[in-house]
Each structure stands twice: as structure tokens, then as C-alpha cells.
Amino acid sequence: MHPLRVSVRAVCYRDDTLLLAEHRDERGLWYILPGGGIQHNETLDIAFKRELLEETGGEADMGDVLFVREVIADKLDTTFLPQHLHQIELFVEATNFRDVATPSQPDKNQIGTIWMPLERLPSLLFFPKTMVEAFQTRQFDRIYQGHIM
């Protein structure tokens, strides 16, 4: 049996930029929002703050859940996700972001963070790519977005 994983991702805007975790692997550069798995007995707000600090060295206030996506690796044509991964991701608004330290535990292949101009999102290898327009317009029309990449 493969457990369902729940994770939280911080959606942090500064002017017309979005804070992204920058990664490099055999695909080249790719980008995701900072965040990760919620640990056993950890609340969503604590996981939000821990993951943000680990991956960006920053702190922010946790706002509202903007949307939820589901990822089921076995239903996708990719070899870059762990086999049998089934993950629910909560994308949460981050407000009042402030740099406080250096990232303490970047993800595998993470080379840094970047404030990415919103107009550049369509040209990046960015996940979830189907949500680029919503991130650019800051309009999230539904909470549950379904199984998307």
C-alpha cells in the first residue's frame, strides 16, 4: 500500500513577481512554488512556515487556501515523479514575506529561489503548468483543480 501524501505550497507575490524554488536536473532549469510534505502530527500552518524557511530562508504569514491540486504519478507520462506517488497539494497565500536566514534544507536538485516576473511563467518549465494563467492574473476560480500537472 502506498500512502497518500499531503503537502503545502506557498504562493508569495511581490509586485509583479512570484517566489519560486529553482531546480536543475537533466531537463535543465525548472520551477515550483516553495513547499513540501506535512509531517505526522504537524498542523498546516506549522508545515507552511517550516517548508518556507527550509527552502527559501524566509518567513511569511499564512493566508487563505487558494486552490488544491492532486497528483497521481501512475496516471502521468513522466519519469520525474516518484513511482506510485499520490499527493494532495494545498496552495496557500503567503503574505508579509521577509528574508530572515539562508535556506536550511533545500529540496533535492534545488539550486536556489528566485522572484520570477509573472510574464515569464509561460516560457518556463514550471509546475503546475496548467495554472500559469491563474498565477499571472491572481484569479483562482475553483478550490479543487483536480489531477493536473
Is residue 146 assigned to a domain? no
Show the domain range for 111: 5-141
Q: Residue 113 is which amino acid?
A: T
Is residue 148 assigned to a domain? no
Is residue 31 assigned to a domain? yes
**pLDDT of 31-48, one tens digit each?**
999 999 999 999 999 999
Question: How do the pLDDT tens digits run along the chain, 149 residues long?
Answer: 678 989 999 999 999 999 999 999 998 999 999 999 999 999 999 999 999 999 999 999 999 999 999 988 777 776 676 677 788 999 999 999 999 888 888 888 899 999 999 999 999 999 999 999 999 999 999 998 887 76
**pLDDT of 64-75, one tens digit each?**
999 999 988 777
Is residue 149 assigned to a domain? no
The count of structural domains within the chain is 1
State pTM to two decimals: 0.91
Q: Give, in order, the Cα–Cα distances in Å from 10 to each of 20, 104, 115, 133, 149.
A: 9, 17, 13, 17, 17
Could you tell me the CATH number of the domain that includes residue 66?
Answer: 3.90.79.10
**Euclidean distance between CA atoms 71 and 19, whole angstroms:** 22
**Euclidean distance between CA atoms 111 and 128, whole angstroms:** 19
- The alpha-helical segments, DSSP class H, found in 23-130 are 44-56
